[in-house]
Structure 1
Amino acid sequence: MAKAKAMREPTFWILTALVKQARHGYGIIQEVAALSEGQVTLQAGTLYAALDRLHAEGLVAVDHDEKVGGRDRRYYCLTEGGVAALEAETARLQRNVRTASTQLATRPATA
């Protein structure tokens, strides 16, 4: 099996934010902040560059567009490829946690 390349943290959180429903940009920013318990704060420029990249990679798709208060909102959803990528990253992170936890549990006592 090929080694999974580590996913960038913003990518991980963007995909995670789209698991349950399609969201527009500001909704993704809010959901990422909530899910990461405030540890990750996405800027609009970072988000939209990432969404363009993820769309080109087939991990997210445009779900629909709507106009709210005269402003356009584009909603993004997770694709099956995005689900697979997020599952692979989750498994990679779990392996890392297991390895570190095992190492910590067998650490010699210090004086």
Structure 2
Amino acid sequence: MKETYGFKTVPITLRESYSASKNGWSALLLDDKNCKEPYRSKKYDIEIVDRVGGGDSFASGLIYGLLEKQNTKDVLEFAVAASCLKHSIPGDFNLVSIDEVEKLVKSGGSGRVER
């Protein structure tokens, strides 16, 4: 994508399917502005309530992170945590606050979702 289309930032989500309701969830981000090697986020083992909206939550978390965070690590960790939390909510909308996402990021990636 970088070579063919000239993208400067390339995110990729990584889902490991253990079962229909249990997945591993992480992502990679290559961001020329902050690093030359892809950064891989912490991996969360999640119990899925609803996958609908998980990609949108990742994308919106990534956009927020690119606007508000200072480095590639913080950008990606915020996006992955936002998406991880969305998987625990039924329906299409991520109903969590920025503080809830930050709390999960700071938990060290244990994957334990506190709501």
Q: TM-score range by the shorter chain?
A: under 0.3
TM-score, normalization by structure 1: 0.26
More RCO (CA 8 Å, sep 6+): 1
Q: Which has the higher strand share?
A: 2
Larger relative helix fraction: 1
Structure whose CA Rg is larger: 1
